[in-house]
């Protein structure tokens, strides 16, 4: 396909998409009105289930199966990147040289690390009460940990981040979500149905299954993102390529096509 044909095809598709998308949007409920057919039902259901954060109630209770699918996608993506970015046979590991860090950077990073980890833990723990939850807090925890790399160097990061532990925790979190779903089956209800005692509205222990699933997601996302970033960091900082890369001289040439 020549460039001209491709450009024409793109503009035709773009024009068709623009027209159909605009037409479809006119059929939506109006923006910013008081009438929300799905919203009012979701709010009623989440109040019935004693979950103060309606979004968490939708994510981890009313549509928990969707979230299970999303978490499996994240788990699969992390697993795939671990497999793709592993050290190839023709690559060497070389310890990176520590570089001097500006005192202000060190101070800021060392000061912010505990604060970020604390905020991340808070956001995970209060997922059923206030905005946030396992996913948001998990990503905060993972990024907060990497302030150790910004403030110090790679060796310090490796010490605060035992990779094998986090890889195992990733699997434990993903498995715990799946296993928690069986609580419903054991109680004679549907898979992932909220059958636990619901507790008092707006208390930390409320919402039945929601805080547990939320915690499992928090563990899975935090360790998943840590493992994911670790693979990229390994490649960027530690793994050395052979000199004649891609020139046909390497022994383990099968991996070249993957990049």
Partner 1 sequence: MSTPTAASDFLVAAALVLVVAAATAAALTRDPVRQSVVLSALGFCLALLFLVVQAPDVALSQLAVGSAITPLLVLLTVRKVRRRPRDDGPAGEGPAGEGPAAADPPGSGGRGSRR
The nearer residue to partner 1, 10 or 232, going by C-beta atoms, is 232
Q: How far is CA 214 from CA 29, 51, 208, in A?
A: 31, 12, 11
CA distance 13 to 17: 6
CA distance 1 to 206: 59
Least distance (Å) between residue 138 CB and partner 1? 9
The nearer residue to partner 1, 66 or 92, going by C-beta atoms, is 92
Phi, psi (deg, nearest 5) at residue 92: -115, 155
The nearer residue to partner 1, 53 or 206, going by C-beta atoms, is 53
Least distance (Å) between residue 233 CB and partner 1? 6
What is the enclosing helix (H) or strand (E) of 93? strand 92-93
Least distance (Å) between residue 137 CB and partner 1? 8
CA dihedral (241, 245, 251, 254) in degrees, to 10, reads: 100
Rounded to 5°, angle at Cα 245 from 241 and 248: 140
Least distance (Å) between residue 168 CB and partner 1? 21
Q: Kindly list the residues in this chain that would bind partner 1 in the complex (CB under 8 A).
A: 32, 53, 55-56, 92, 94, 123, 131-133, 135-136, 139-140, 142-143, 146, 225, 228-229, 232-233, 235-236, 240-247, 256, 259
The nearer residue to partner 1, 136 or 178, going by C-beta atoms, is 136
């Amino acid at each position: 396909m020549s460039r001209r044909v491709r450009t024409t095809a793109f503009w035709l598709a773009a024009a068709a998409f623009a027209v159909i998308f605009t037409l479809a949007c006119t059929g939506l409920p109006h923006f910013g009105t008081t009438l929300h057919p799905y919203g009012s039902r979701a709010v009623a259901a989440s109040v019935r289930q004693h979950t103060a954060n309606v979004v968490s109630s939708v994510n981890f209770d009313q549509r928990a199966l969707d979230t299970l699918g999303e978490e499996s996608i994240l788990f699969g993506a992390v697993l795939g990147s671990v497999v793709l970015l592993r050290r190839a046979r023709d690559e060497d590991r070389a310890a990176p040289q520590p570089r001097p860090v500006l005192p202000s950077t060190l101070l800021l990073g060392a000061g912010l690390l505990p604060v970020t980890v604390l905020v991340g833990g808070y956001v995970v723990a209060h997922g059923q009460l206030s905005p946030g939850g396992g996913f948001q807090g998990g990503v905060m925890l993972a990024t907060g940990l990497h302030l150790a790399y910004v403030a110090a160097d790679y060796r310090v990061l490796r010490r605060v981040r035992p990779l094998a532990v986090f890889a195992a925790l990733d699997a434990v979190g993903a498995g715990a979500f799946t296993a928690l779903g069986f609580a419903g089956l054991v109680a004679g209800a549907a898979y992932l149905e909220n059958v636990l005692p619901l507790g008092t509205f707006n208390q930390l222990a409320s919402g039945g299954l929601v805080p547990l699933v939320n915690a499992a997601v928090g563990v899975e996302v935090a360790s998943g993102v840590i493992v994911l970033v670790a693979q990229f960091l390994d490649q960027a900082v530690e793994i050395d390529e052979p000199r004649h890369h891609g020139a046909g001289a390497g022994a383990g040439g099968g991996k070249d096509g993957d990049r």
